[in-house]
Structure 1
Amino acid sequence: MNPSWRKPVGMFLIVALIAIWAVATISIIELLSAPEWINMILYVVAGFAWLWALPMKRLLRWMELGVWRD
């Protein structure tokens, strides 16, 4: 059985996308100048959006199965 090239590529993409997402999230939330408790809620929402609504779920599926959609 040959190892899949998708897993190492996917790992590098995940690290790069998390870095981009974190910088974008921090920049946007700092521009809002909201109270700390609202910032905390925004960070939690942004984290869940990243994991489930945006490309992370599809990227993990692609790494395992080689397909983007169900």
Structure 2
Amino acid sequence: MREEPTWRIPVGVLGLFVALIIYAVLVAVFVSDIIGSWPVFWQTLVYIVLGVIWIRPLRRFLIWMETGSWREPPKR
């Protein structure tokens, strides 16, 4: 466990916040026009997938925030 604070955590949180806002705006602007006429079931399914898909690259980003490296630390 880290004993001293690091600059990566506040920068990472702000970066994540900005990236999620940009992602949400892009989805709202481009995807809503495309699937707006689809049945509600399919719209819901697409928005659920798009709402979860941003989590995939988050793991390496969180590792960087904690360790300063983009690679996963070795297992003990």
**Shift in Å at residue 58 of structure 1?**
2.0
Q: CA deviation at 1:66?
A: 1.1
Give the distance between the partners of 2:59 and 2:51, measured in 1 at CA. 13
Give the deviation of 1:65 after TM superposition. 1.5
- Provide structure 1 residue ranges, at least 5 long, that are not aligned to the other structure: none
Aligned-pair distance for 1:35?
Answer: 2.1
Count of residues paired in the alignment? 68
What is the CA–CA distance in structure 2 between the aligned matches of 1:29 and 1:39, rounded to whole Å? 10
Structure 2: gaps spanning 5 or more residues: none
RMSD over aligned Cα, in angstroms? 1.5
Where in structure 1 do 4 or more consecutive aligned residues deviate above 4 Å? none
Question: Is the CA contact (8 Å cut-off) linking 1:61 and 1:68 kept in structure 2?
Answer: yes
Return the TM-score normalized by structure 1. Answer: 0.81
Q: Deviations over 1:11-61 (max 9, x none)?
A: 100110110011111122211122222111111111221001x3x222111
Higher relative contact order (CA 8 A, sep 6+): 1
Bigger share in helix: 1
Q: 1:35-54 to 2 correspondence within 5 Å?
A: 35-52=39-56, 54=57
Task: Work out the percentage of aligned pairs sharing the same amino acid.
Answer: 32
Larger Rg computed on CA atoms: 2
